[in-house]
Amino acid sequence: MDALERDKILNARAMSPERKLRAGLELFELNRALILATLKSQNPHADAATLNALFLQRLAQIRQLEAGQ
């Protein structure tokens, strides 16, 4: 076990249950923002609805990959 993992464990011990529950959802939001920003750069003229549709397609692909693991 390396120092980075040990730090993650000690940080998790210091977090309240509510904070930890929120963290998983906030990470989803961070991923969503990163994917949308990438899609925007790849499709600079797409409107918000189109970008959201592309995001939903990308999310479905990610879920398929995860289910196959």
What is the spatial distance between Cα 69 and Cα 67, in angstroms, rounded to a whole number? Answer: 6
| 31 in contact with another protein (CB under 8 A) | yes
Choose which of 3, 4, 6, 40 interacts with another protein (CB under 8 A).
6
Instruction: Identify which of 37, 61, 31 has the alpha carbon closest to the alpha carbon of residue 51.
Output: 37
Contact pick of 22, 34, 42, 43 for another protein (by CB under 8 A) = 22
Under DSSP, is residue 16 helix (H, G, I), strand (E, B) or coil?
Answer: coil
Does an H or E element contain 6, and which?
helix 3-14
Residues that bind another protein (CB under 8 A): 1, 5-6, 8-9, 11-13, 15, 17-18, 20-29, 31-32, 52, 55-56, 59-60, 62-63, 66, 69
